[in-house]
Structure 1
Amino acid sequence: MPKYLISFEKGAMDHIPAEDFPQVGKDAHAVCREAKDAGVLIFTGGISYDTEDPLLAANPAVVGTDGLITDGPYPESKELIGGVFVVDVPTREEALQWAAKVAAACRCAQDVRMFMDDPEAV
């Protein structure tokens, strides 16, 4: 079955008041459990950009073909990913239905993209 990346940009949830975040977390976890119970969830998670705690920091870096490491996102990238939800579903329409559930739970729009099928990849 095709796998789909459902994601949102860093900052997409900035409009949510701090007091609403516990409920957002509960709602998002409910969607994750639903997808897991349905057998379609491959992976999900938010991206950490905590620069205060080195154990949590996941600041973007680019590793070139020559092995050179440059801090920061790839120069052509316009947005950073805030969170991802990967599902394995038979149709694009089903992926869009899951994206709608994630969007409602996270209170922000979701980007949906299908992974290329590569039988050689593990």
Structure 2
Amino acid sequence: MTKYLISFPSGAMDVAAEDMQAVSDAAHAVVAEAKDAGVWVFGGGIDESILPVRVDGDGAVTEGTYPQTKQIEGGYAILELPSRKAAFEWAAKIAAACRCAQEVRAFMYDPAS
């Protein structure tokens, strides 16, 4: 099975403060459903209060992201699924819960790992 990254940037969630609890509850329900289905690998939101850094092979730390990255933030879920179609179905569930479209990407299979 393939692992899929399902994600959205923080700015995509345009939810009124009074609706945040309902969104949180709906998102947690989808996570519970994915866990019950045995497809959940990992998920969470990027802590945007901690600035990103790059670490070189010699251990040198540089603040910021790669210039072409611009920014990585928002929410992420990694699910292990039998097909791209299944990834789209789970992305739709997450999109409904979070009230914003989701991006779907497949991780490449590495037979050596």
Q: Same-fold call, TM > 0.5?
A: yes
Superposed, which structure 2 residues align to 1:70-109 within 5 Å? 70-109=62-101
Deviations 1:47-95 (A, max 9, x none): 1112xxxxxxx32111234432111222111332311111111100000
Superposed, which structure 2 residues align to 1:64-75 within 5 Å? 64-75=56-67
Residue type of the alignment partner of 1:97:
E
What is the deviation of 1:108?
Answer: 1.2
What is the deviation of 1:22?
Answer: 0.4
Structure 1 runs of 4+ aligned residues shifted over 3 Å read none
Q: CA RMSD in A?
A: 1.3
Percent of matched pairs sharing the same residue: 54
User: Is 1:24 the equivalent of 2:16?
Assistant: no
Distance 2:26 2:10 in 1: 19
Which piece of structure 1 moves more, 23-32 or 103-112?
103-112
Residue type of the alignment partner of 1:79:
Q
Distance 2:27 2:53 in 1: 28
Superposed, which structure 2 residues align to 1:25-40 within 5 Å? 25-40=24-39
Higher helix share: 2
Unpaired runs of at least 5, structure 2 = none
Residue type of the alignment partner of 1:77:
T
Which piece of structure 1 moves more, 61-70 or 3-12?
61-70
Distance 1:62 1:74 in 2: 8
| Contact map agreement 1:45 1:83 (CA 8 A) in 2 | yes
Normalising by structure 1, we get a TM-score of 0.86
> What is the match of residue 11 of structure 1?
11
What is the deviation of 1:7?
Answer: 0.7
Distance 1:8 1:59 in 2: 19
Unpaired runs of at least 5, structure 1 = 51-57
SS in 2 for 1:87: strand
> What is the match of residue 54 of structure 1?
none
Distance 1:92 1:47 in 2: 25
Normalising by structure 2, we get a TM-score of 0.92
SS in 2 for 1:102: helix
Superposed, which structure 2 residues align to 1:31-70 within 5 Å? 31-50=30-49, 58-70=50-62
